[in-house]
Amino acid sequence: MSWLQWIQGFAGASMVEWIATLAGFLCVFMLIKRSRWSFVFGFVQVSIYSWIFFDVKLYSDMGLHIIYIGFQVYGWYMWSNHQDQQGHISPVKGSAKEYVGFGALALASAAILGLAMSSYTDASFPYVDAFTTCSSLIAQWLLTHRKLFNWAVWIIVDIVAIALYWQKGLYPTSALYFSFLIMACVGQYTWIKEFRRHNSEKHSTHLDNALG
């Protein structure tokens, strides 16, 4: 594909896709800031993308985004209960065993879903679509529970999704996921920095209390 064709496809995208793209960008930006308001923009994004993915026969992604609608409500509730006085949440580390288990679950569930989609539907790229779907659900679960390395999972998902959506002609969406990739890298760095700062403050407080 030439750059001219890419630009033409980008410029010809529907207003609905542009709205979803903007909402998605704002959602991730607010997640990096550790604000529960990210889930409001996320609700708008995933509701619109449920229809977009149905229209282009990415059925696994469509199902994923329908589930995401519930995750936005759940995420708002969970983060509302763990805010500090500034309205931000603090990340929790999670165990290596936990991350390995979720990784194995992502691969196994993607294989099963991909097989089902290739056998019983006319889905495009069924196994790739299934991988982004299953991995995204796991990443979303980790994110909702404030796990520190949820961003690492998102980075993998974003790389695969960029190629997938490009192939399907969803150019603003592929551009959105490229920005997601960059923001996920920033998010991982920011959350690690915040995790270290928060633990350092807790350690200092405990030390002060012990000495006091």
Predicted confidence (pLDDT) per residue in 39-98, tens digit: 999 999 999 989 888 888 878 778 878 988 999 999 999 999 888 878 888 899 999 999
pLDDT at residue 202, rounded to an integer: 67
pTM reported for the whole predicted model: 0.80
Whose tokens are 């992604």? That residue is: 61
Residue 149: phi and psi, rounded to 5, are: -100, 25
Q: From CA 47, how far away is CA 60, in angstroms rounded? A: 15
Number of domains in the chain: 1
Mean pLDDT, residues 93-122 taken together: 93
Q: What is the pLDDT of residues 2-46, one digit of tens each?
A: 444 544 454 445 778 788 888 988 998 999 999 999 999 999 999
According to the model, what pLDDT value does residue 7 have?
Answer: 44
Parent domain of 118: 3-211
DSSP string, the chain: --HHHHHHHHHT--HHHHHHHHHHHHHHHHHHTTBTTHHHHHHHHHHHHHHHHHHTT-HHHHHHHHHHHHHHHHHHHHHHTTB-TTSBB--B---HHHHHHHHHHHHHHHHHHHHHHHHHS--SSHHHHHHHHHHHHHHHHHHHTTBTTHHHHHHHHHHHHHHHHHHTT-HHHHHHHHHHHHHHHHHHHHHHHHHHHHHHHHHHHHHHHHH-
